[in-house]
Amino acid sequence: MVLLFIVYNNAVDEEMVEIVKELAGGYTKFIGVQGEGSHEPQLGTHIWPGINNCLMVAVERTGMKKIVDSIDWLCEKFPDVGVRIFSTQLKQIR
């Protein structure tokens, strides 16, 4: 299994959750996450008003490609919205 950590602009929250629910079945969501990266800062302030959300998704390695492909489609549909996906090996211990 792998753990996907998806950081995305709150503007595409409904679409992102729909993708993950359909393809992975479940997720853990962090809302109102602030940060800076390669796009405009997302700090939730009057100067930098944007805000991010994050999803943690446990998925079999074979299912990861479908999720990434669907998120790529979402990024093509909304090219100005920042999305980053990170992955790491996952071993459930309990």
Q: Is the residue at 83 inside a domain?
A: yes
Identify the pLDDT of residue 49. 87
CATH number of residue 52's parent domain = 3.30.70.120
The number of CA neighbours under 13 Å toward the Cβ of 68 is 15
Residues of the chain with pLDDT under 50: none
Burial of 46: CB neighbours in 10 Å, binned 0-12, 13-18, 19+: exposed
Q: How many domains does the structure of the chain reveal?
A: 1
The range of the structural domain enclosing residue 38 comes to 2-89
Q: What is the pTM of this model?
A: 0.89
Identify the pLDDT of residue 23. 95
DSSP element (H, E) containing 19: helix 13-24
Identify the pLDDT of residue 82. 87
d(CA 9, CA 82): 6
